[in-house]
Amino acid sequence: MLKVGFTGALRSSVNGHAQVDAQASTIRELLSGLVQRYPDLAEHVEQGIAVALDGEIYRDDWSKPIPDGSTVFLLPRIQGG
């Protein structure tokens, strides 16, 4: 079981939850499951999203395995200069 945290505008797309429980073994599975539960999240996933697993931020590699018990945060995709 994973605890998934949400910040920023993502929180309002999951009915205002700061954290939800989820079951997933990869980032792809996680996002797919969350979008099924919270359809408003789909727009954010489409526009680009970053996933923090135990403090490390992953932007693109959705095949990344998520170890059970990981701390997971979904973040808006960021831009740099």
**Least distance (Å) from other proteins to the CB of residue 41?**
13
Q: Among all chains, which residue has been given the structure tokens 């990344």? A: 64
Determine the Cα–Cα distance for residues 76 and 53; give it in Å rounded to an integer: 14
**Least distance (Å) from other proteins to the CB of residue 57?**
7
**Least distance (Å) from other proteins to the CB of residue 32?**
18
Residues of this chain that bind other proteins (CB under 8 A): 5, 7-9, 11-12, 16, 18, 47, 50, 52, 54-61, 64, 71, 73, 75-76, 78-81
